[in-house]
């Protein structure tokens, strides 16, 4: 796939995206294990998080006590956490030739703060330019699931954070946002139905990795 390698380093950058309860963390971990078994150096990380500072910001963002948080504060904090994440973790790992797999990246900001909160996409893009220099994953896997099922799955594992407390309408806007982003960038963002079992979804992710990445990616990273 043309452009699969970041200009920044020798590594490959992959993100998992989607609404709550789609199994992103599980799938990110399974892919990381699969690639590690193939002998690839992988770094598994998440947003907001991945560094001590970003984890502190995560706590502020997700605390259910912070009901009065302004949407703009929220947007800036996600960007602040991302700057730190890129600087301390993602860029150094890519420079060393690792495959970096992150559970969420900037598509989440466009989907949640843009389509979900209703902040102008222009403003989000301007901030993204400042925070990331418009760095994008080489490949993004969008796990898609209906909102009710996703929220129900999280309820079963007692996962509650500030954004999950939003109503179904909000999460539907976020899901639609993700689908619009995937339609805008079909080469980078690959849609995977997350309603199937964990193993079936993992197989589909591996199939995508092996088909898209074929030439350059496979040669560079000896996946095949």
Residues that bind ligand TMP (CB under 6 A): 20, 47-48, 78, 104, 108-109, 112-113, 161, 163-164
Q: Which is nearer to ligand TMP, 15 or 91 (CB)?
A: 15
The residue length of the chain stands at 224
CB of 211 to ligand TMP, least distance (A): 27
Q: Which is nearer to ligand TMP, 76 or 214 (CB)?
A: 76
CB of 8 to ligand TMP, least distance (A): 20
Q: Which is nearer to ligand TMP, 194 or 213 (CB)?
A: 194
Distances (CA, A) of 15 to 63, 165, 180: 24, 24, 17
Distances (CA, A) of 61 to 72, 79, 116: 12, 11, 16
CB of 135 to ligand TMP, least distance (A): 14
Q: Which is nearer to ligand TMP, 113 or 132 (CB)?
A: 113
CB of 80 to ligand TMP, least distance (A): 11
CB of 91 to ligand TMP, least distance (A): 17
Hey, which residues does 193 pair with through a beta bridge? Answer: 144
Q: Which is nearer to ligand TMP, 166 or 216 (CB)?
A: 166
CB of 190 to ligand TMP, least distance (A): 19
Using CA atoms, how far apart are residues 170 and 125, in angstroms rounded to an integer?
21
Q: Which is nearer to ligand TMP, 54 or 223 (CB)?
A: 54
CB atoms within 10 A of CB 27: 23
Q: At 13, phi and psi to the nearest 5?
A: -115, 120
């Amino acid at each position: 796939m043309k452009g699969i390698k970041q200009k920044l380093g020798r590594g490959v950058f992959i993100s998992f995206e989607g609404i709550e309860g789609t199994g992103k963390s599980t799938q990110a971990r399974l892919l990381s294990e699969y690639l590690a078994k193939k002998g690839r150096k992988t770094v598994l990380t998440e947003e907001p998080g991945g560094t001590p500072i970003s984890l502190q910001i995560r706590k502020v963002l997700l605390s259910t006590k912070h009901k009065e948080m302004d949407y703009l504060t929220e947007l800036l904090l996600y960007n602040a956490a991302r700057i730190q994440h890129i600087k301390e973790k993602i860029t150094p790992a890519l420079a060393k030739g690792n495959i970096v797999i992150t559970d969420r990246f900037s598509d989440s900001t466009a989907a949640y703060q843009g389509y979900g909160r209703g902040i102008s996409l222009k403003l989000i893009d301007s901030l993204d330019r400042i925070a990331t220099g418009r760095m994008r994953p080489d490949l993004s896997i969008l796990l898609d699931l209906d909102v009710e099922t996703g929220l129900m799955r999280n309820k079963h594992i007692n996962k509650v954070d500030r954004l999950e407390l939003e109503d179904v309408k909000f999460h539907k806007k976020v899901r639609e946002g993700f689908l619009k982003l995937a339609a805008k960038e079909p080469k980078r963002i690959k849609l995977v139905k997350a309603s199937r079992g964990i193993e079936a979804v993992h197989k589909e992710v591996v199939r995508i990795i092996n088909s898209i990445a074929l030439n350059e990616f496979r040669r560079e990273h000896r996946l095949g």
